[in-house]
Structure 1
Amino acid sequence: MMDWEKVFATRASRMKASEIRELLKLLEQPDIISFAGGIPDVNLFPKAEVAEAYAEVLSGAQGDAALQYSVSEGYKPLRDWIVGEMSRIGITCKAENVFITSGSQQLLDYLGKLFLSKNDTALVTWPTYMGALGAFNAYEPNYDKLIPLSNREPQTYIDQASEKGGQVKFAYCVPEFHNPTGVTMTRAEREWLLDLAEKIDIPVIEDAAYQSLRYEGESVPPILALDLARNGNDIEKTRTFYCGTFSKTLAPGLRIGWVVANSDVVRKLVLIKQAADLHSSTINQMVIGKVAERLYDEQIAKIRKTYGHRRKKMLEAMDRHMPAGVDWTRPEGGMFVWVTLPEGMDGASLLAQSLKSERVAFVPGKAFFADGSGANTIRLSFSCATDTMIEDGIARLGRLIAAQKKAAA
């Protein structure tokens, strides 16, 4: 038989199965209460409007173009819509600063490919979005902790990267309702990050997947907006990549994401796109564009109302049912609550027992740490859970944690 390990590239050893992808298979089991996948509720998808847009595109003058090859930068009317949407959150740009990708996950892969050579260092939060780690891992980097407002000297990042045989190449963060913790970076923390990036001279990757999902509290300017303010509102002088997506607002299955950045780097990303898959689906871009123009604000309002209610119910259930010694975040938006278990309790072991005895699923936190730490953490998602699921599932989980804590005493 063929010895495949012998011919795989060295990077293949760092490709790991997503724990979330595997846990999503549990959704097929009707007796499982799942707080696992951070996915949108299918009942909120604008299905009728999407169907209408497809029919309109295919039956109209755009029908042939919708099924044809297209430009790598992305469908121009959609890019123009994004320019307008960005202006509403303080980001001034032009269509040439916008690049469409097949979901923002593809963009993370492209940015890893563009910046990371083997043994270079990526600065990431601890924990961080596991999809970003999966995308970057293929390019064999090292990771260093990005801890906002820390007093660490910028030169130490450079020195440690050099000791490992590379350079610091970028800082990556999810500033709004962070996946997995749900925490939002303050304005001071964002300014600190830009200060650090300027001192080290690296770009900042701002993963804004949850930008629109705020349910309470005051909004904070995007990092790119703050970067623009420092540079005379000239996007060509900025160092921040704003990564957006329609997956959390309209529909993930259409796989449409985007980046806003200076045009020089956008042109480099276009070259990667041309070599990878030529362009994102033309018809999907046209459909997303029509749906966004017609009901984006209405859709956001519907999502905020539904998810905001579920977030409130989960936090109330946590207050009622979690035993002493368990801590959790209280996010103002997004899809996640991050739970820190008593010291010594393992999230993966807890999941195995939970599936067996309580039939409740969640994501062990260890997968979100670049160094494999964080064993006593778990992530809960409320986006697809009904009131009954939340009350029952959190009660079961709290009971199990209390029992394991008692047994370990």
Structure 2
Amino acid sequence: MTTTSPDWSARYAPRMANVKASEIRELLKLLDQPDILSFAGGIPDPGLFPTSEIKAAYDGVLADPAVAAQALQYSVSEGYLPLREWLVERMAAAGVACDASNIMITAGSQQALDLLGKMLIGPGTSVMVARPTYLGALQAFTPYQPSYLDLPDGALAQGFDAQTLKTRLGQHPIGYFVPDFANPTGESLTLAEREALLDLAEAADMTLIEDAAYRDLRFEGEALPTLLALDIARAGSIEQARTLYCGTFSKTVSPALRLGWVCGPKAVIDKLVLLKQGCDLHVSTINQIAAHRAVSQGFEQHLSLLRNAYGAKAQAILGSLARHMPQGVTWSKPQGGMFVWIWLPEHIDGAALLERAIAEERVAFVPGAPFFAEVKATNAIRLSYSLPTAAEIEDGVARLARLIARS
């Protein structure tokens, strides 16, 4: 007897047609070769993980039978209350008055983006993004079938036609932005641009999603208010705000803990909790308890260590770019975060350059095209300086510059 294998592609929901492999994730699979010098993965330097604090936290949790019983058990979907209360204090220090009911713990900020997409985006919902924008946000939102729009060039700095944008955006649009040290560009919104973005959101009745993944990694310049803090100052309270704030411990403590959070009006958090219950019930209880213990003391000193380290690496890569890159190449100058964005001469395609870079110079980066939602640009690449040493940065930039010069 013979059987016919099912045609799985015919059985998928229509939205699955929009789900495609991450070009960056696929790229990283190719880079597990010791002789490739990589600027590709935007991942923290493991030498900066607070390993001893994390170990002590887990040891302490498991050494106490009562705490261990709680830590190894199911928990509430909202998240471990002491950790949420600690985050309330952190948010208050950033100008966001809230309480624990305004915060839900997520499995990294990536899950927060997915749940927000599930809650807010339906077929045809307008989602406005920066140009370029974070690829992971596009991956989280795309299955819900949005209609993407790029933020018009110069709109925040030079003003915008509110009525035209409102007409184009339609009803209940979403705006997704990374105000501080964005992935992929490393750039930040000025205070005036943040206020202008809130003006735009109010004019278009837009819900804003603020991705603050890199906010704590400022190593130069003065900190600027979060969009949520500015929104609350206008609206009067978090319950009247239109901004939903996504934070994470992945860049400051450890990605493996898979801990992020959403901060917003209680009505939104209540709905997100219901979605999370249908997704994974809750984030790992023991991870939440251990993380709370690890950050409860000495967190600011740890952040200072991170800022100094990443600041030194940023200066190294900016210096190397200035020394080696040929004319016609420009780049961002981040004051925080992990990334530099490179604009290449128009005739150079980033994806084609990557193939040659691996083959000829054994250096890797991420092509820029996947970071564009509406109108693609191919003559750009992203470099991450978070992982390589200063010496590797100098060597890698020199190799890349040689390749660009002969392209």
TM-score range, shorter chain: over 0.9
C-alpha deviations, 1:103-144, integer Å up to 9, x for none? Answer: 000000001100111111101111100000000001011111
2:63 to 53, 59, 63: 59
How many residue pairs match? The answer is: 399
Q: Is the 8 A contact 2:124 2:147 kept in 1?
A: yes
Alignment partner of 1:391 is 2:394: yes
C-alpha deviations, 1:173-222, integer Å up to 9, x for none? Answer: 00000111111100111111111111111211100000111111111111
1:136 maps to: 141
Q: Distance in 2 between matches of 1:275 and 1:80?
A: 24
Structure 1 range deviating more: 237-246 or 45-54? 45-54
Q: How does 1:245-394 map to 2 (within 5 A)?
A: 245-371=248-374, 373-394=376-397
Q: Distance in 2 between matches of 1:103 and 1:279?
A: 12
Q: Distance in 2 between matches of 1:378 and 1:188?
A: 28
> What's the CA shift for 1:292?
0.8
* Structure 1 alignment gaps of length 5 or more: 405-409
Alignment partner of 1:160 is 2:165: no
1:38 maps to: 42
What secondary structure sits across from 1:380 in the alignment? strand
Q: Is the 8 A contact 2:149 2:374 kept in 1?
A: no
The alpha-carbon distance between structure 1 residues 161 and 240, as it changes in their structure 2 partners (threshold 3 A), is closer
Q: Distance in 2 between matches of 1:220 and 1:16?
A: 36
1:83 maps to: 88
Residue identity matched to 2:272: L
Alignment partner of 1:198 is 2:202: yes
Q: Is the 8 A contact 1:26 1:32 kept in 2?
A: no
Q: How does 1:169-180 map to 2 (within 5 A)?
A: 169-180=173-184
Q: How does 1:145-156 map to 2 (within 5 A)?
A: 145-147=150-152, 148-156=156-164
1:5 maps to: 9
> What's the CA shift for 1:149?
3.2
2:124 maps to: 119
C-alpha deviations, 1:305-351, integer Å up to 9, x for none? Answer: 11100000000000010000001011111100000000121000000
Q: Is the 8 A contact 1:366 1:372 kept in 2?
A: no
Structure 1 range deviating more: 222-231 or 76-85? 222-231
Q: Distance in 2 between matches of 1:280 and 1:33?
A: 35
The runs of 4+ residues in structure 1 deviating greater than 4 Å are none
Alignment partner of 1:218 is 2:226: no
Residue identity matched to 1:122: V
Residue identity matched to 1:85: R
What secondary structure sits across from 1:28 in the alignment? coil
C-alpha deviations, 1:198-251, integer Å up to 9, x for none? Answer: 11112111000001111111111111111111123x111111111100000000
Q: Distance in 1 between matches of 2:150 and 2:360?
A: 37
C-alpha deviations, 1:275-302, integer Å up to 9, x for none? Answer: 1111111110001111110221121111
What secondary structure sits across from 1:198 in the alignment? helix
What secondary structure sits across from 2:296 in the alignment? helix
Q: Is the 8 A contact 1:66 1:286 kept in 2?
A: yes
* Structure 2 alignment gaps of length 5 or more: none
What secondary structure sits across from 1:92 in the alignment? coil
Q: Distance in 2 between matches of 1:237 and 1:151?
A: 25
Q: Percent identity?
A: 53
Q: Distance in 2 between matches of 1:150 and 1:262?
A: 31
Q: Distance in 2 between matches of 1:135 and 1:57?
A: 34
Q: Distance in 2 between matches of 1:338 and 1:81?
A: 34
Q: Is the 8 A contact 2:150 2:374 kept in 1?
A: no
Q: Distance in 2 between matches of 1:263 and 1:43?
A: 38
What secondary structure sits across from 2:336 in the alignment? coil
2:115 maps to: 110
Q: Distance in 1 between matches of 2:300 and 2:375?
A: 40
Residue identity matched to 2:193: E
2:24 maps to: 20
Residue identity matched to 1:359: R
Q: Distance in 2 between matches of 1:371 and 1:238?
A: 28
Backbone CA RMSD of aligned residues: 1.2
Q: Distance in 2 between matches of 1:158 and 1:228?
A: 22
1:242 to 242, 245, 251: 245
* TM-score where L is the length of structure 2: 0.96
1:407 maps to: none
Q: Is the 8 A contact 1:169 1:202 kept in 2?
A: yes
Residue identity matched to 1:135: A
Q: Is the 8 A contact 2:128 2:151 kept in 1?
A: yes
Residue identity matched to 2:209: I
What secondary structure sits across from 1:171 in the alignment? strand
2:105 to 91, 100, 105: 100
* TM-score where L is the length of structure 1: 0.95
